[in-house]
Structure 1
Amino acid sequence: MTRLDQLLVERKLANSRTHAKKLIEAGRVMLSGGGPLQPARKAAQTVPEDSALEVTPLPEDQYVSRAGLKLAAILDQTGLNPIGWHILDVGCSTGGFSDCLLQRGAESVVGVDVGRDQLAQKLKEDARMHLFEGVNARHLQASQITPFADRGFDAIVMDVSFISQTLILPQLPALLKPSGQLLTLVKPQFEVGQEGIGKGGLVRGSQYYPQVRERIIGLCEELGLEVKKYIDSPIKGGDGNREFLLWATPRPL
C-alpha cells in the first residue's frame, strides 16, 4: 500500500505531491483497486501500488506555468499566430510564455532572465529554446544575446516581477522588426509604488489601474509603439492581484 499522492508522482501523473493534491481536490483523479473507476477522495488515502489510475489534466497544466494561459488569452483575442516566429521572451522564468509560443509553432524562443535555474526541464531539452540567464533586462542590448538578435525579433513578450516594466520597455523597440509584435503582462503591483500597495501585497484600490494604463501606454507612444489592445488578464496573479495584457506594434515611419 502507498499514499495516493505519492503514487501519482511515481507514475509521473503529477509533478509533485502538491500538484497531486490539487488534481485530487479538483476531482480530476479516478481510482480503481480492481472494480470500476471511482473519484479519488483525498491525497493521503492509502491504495494498492497496482491501482488503476486515470487523470484528467487541470487547465493550467497545459503549460509549464499559469503564465502560458495568460499569453494564450491575448494571442486568441488578437488572432496573432506565432508559427515560424523568432521570439524574445523577457523574464522567461519557468517558461510559461515560451511554452505557449513553442506549442503554437514558434520557430525559436530566446529567453532572458535575471535569475538562474528556473526554466522548466521540458524547455531546457527543447532545441528551439535558447536561454540567457543572469541578464538584467533593464540594460538589455543586442550584443548580450548574439547571434539571435542579429536579424531582429518577430515578437517580444515580457512578464517581469519586482521591477516596473517602464524601466525595460525602452530597450525593446531596437530589438524588434518593423513588422514585429510586442506582448507584455502588466502587473500593477510593481508599477504603483509602495504607497499603492496594501495588505498582502495587493493594490490598494481600482483607482490605480487607469494611472498604470496611462503611464505605460504613454511610454509606448514615446518609444514609437502603437498600442493595439490593453485588456484584463483572464487569470489573476498568484498573489490575487488583477493583471493586464498589452499588445503593441512599431508605428509605421
Structure 2
Amino acid sequence: MKVKKLRLDQLLVEKGIVESRGKAKLLILSGQILIDDPRQFQTIKPGQLVPLDTRIRVKEPLRYVSRGGLKLEKALNEFPVNVAGKVAIDIGASTGGFTDCLLQYGVNFVYAIDVGYGQIAWQLRQNTQKVEVIERTNIRYLDPKLIVRQIDLAVIDVSFISLTKVLPKAISLLSSSSQIIALIKPQFEAGKELVSKGGVVRESSSHLFVIQKLQDTVEKLGWQMVALTHSPLRGPAGNVEFLAHFTVKQAERLAQIPIAEIVKQAHQKLLC
C-alpha cells in the first residue's frame, strides 16, 4: 500500500504546529523543525514530501516574526551600539524581523518602510504606539515629511537593489550622531560576472570585493564602516551575508577592520 505523503510545510499547518505555510517555511529554514528518520532526527527542506504520520519535533520557538531578527540580533550583540530608548527606521521591513528585534532590544519607536504591501506581521502592524508602517514606498522616493521624529538608527535589509543606491537617501534622513546597521547581500552588490547560476556569490574574493566597494561608497558619503560581522544564517538561495555598522566619519583614524579574516570565518562557519 502506497504511503500518502505531504509537503513538510503543509504538514506543519495540518498538525496545527503553525498557522501558515509561510511560518512553517521560516521555522524549517532556520533549522527549528526536525522530523523522525530511521537513522536520526534530521533537518530537511520545506518542500520535502513526508508521510502523514511523521513525528515532528520543534527545537525551540522563534524569538522574532522572521529569521531576519536573528541576523540583526547578532549585530546588536557584537557591535558597539545601544538601541534602548532610540528611534529607528527599518528600510526594507518586509515581515518585520528587524523591527521586532529592535523592539525587543528596547527601541522606543520604529518607522517600518517597505515597497510591498500587507507583509508586516500583524502583531507589529497593530502596535501603533511603537511602529508606524509605511508601505508601497521605495525608500529612494520617500517624502522626508513623513518622518517627523529624529532618527537615531537606520537598519537596512533590501533585495534586488544595491545598498549603494539606498544609503544616500538613508543618510539624508539621519543626523551626525545617527548610526546605520545594514545587511550586505552579495548577490545584489556584485556584478553579474561574479554571480553564479541560482543567484549565489560563492567566492570569498567576491565577498571581499563587495564589502570593500561598499566601504569606499560610504566614505565618499562622509561616513565610515566601524564594524563588520557575518550573518549567522545564509540567505534563502544559500548566499553568505554580512552585517556592517556605519557612523559619520570621525577625525581620528579607526583601527582597520579585518575584512578578509571576517570573510574567511564566514566561509568556515557557513559553508564548510
Assess same fold via TM > 0.5: yes
User: Looking at CA atoms only, which structure, 1 or 2, has the larger radius of gyration?
Assistant: 1
Partner in structure 1 of residue 214 of structure 2: 216
1:179 counterpart residue number: 177
Give the structure 2 partner of residue 30 of structure 1: none
Matched, 1:69 2:70: yes
Q: Cα deviations across residues 199-252 of structure 1 (Å, max 9, x unaligned)?
A: 221115222112111111111111111211122111111110011100011124
Asked whether 1:44 is paired with 2:52, we answer yes
Quote the sequence identity (%).
38
Aligned to 1:109: 110
Structure 2 counterpart of 1:25, one-letter code: L
Secondary structure of 1:134 counterpart: coil
Q: Is the 8 A contact 1:5 1:44 kept in 2?
A: no
- Quote the Cα distance in structure 1 between the aligned partners of 2:209 and 2:115: 27
Q: Is 1:134 aligned with 2:139?
A: no
Match in the other structure for 2:24: 19
Distance 1:46 1:203, change over 3 A: closer
Extract unaligned runs of 5+ from structure 1.
28-41, 48-52
Name the SS for the 1:89 alignment partner. strand
Residues 90 and 156 of structure 1 are in contact (CA less than 8 Å); yes or no, is this contact kept in structure 2? yes
Corresponding residue number in structure 1 for 2:158: 160
Equivalent position of 2:84 in the other structure: 83
Q: Please tell me whether the aligned partners of residues 65 and 94 of structure 1 are also in contact (alpha carbons under 8 angstroms).
A: yes
State the one-letter code of the partner of 2:225. V
Contact 2:90 2:156 in 1 (8 A): yes
Distance change (3 Å), C-alpha of 1:235 and 1:6: closer
* Corresponding letter in the other structure for 1:95: G
TM-score, normalised to structure 1, is 0.79
What secondary structure is seen at the aligned counterpart in 1 of 2:209? Answer: helix
Give the TM-score, by structure 2 length.
Answer: 0.74
SS in 2 for 1:172: helix
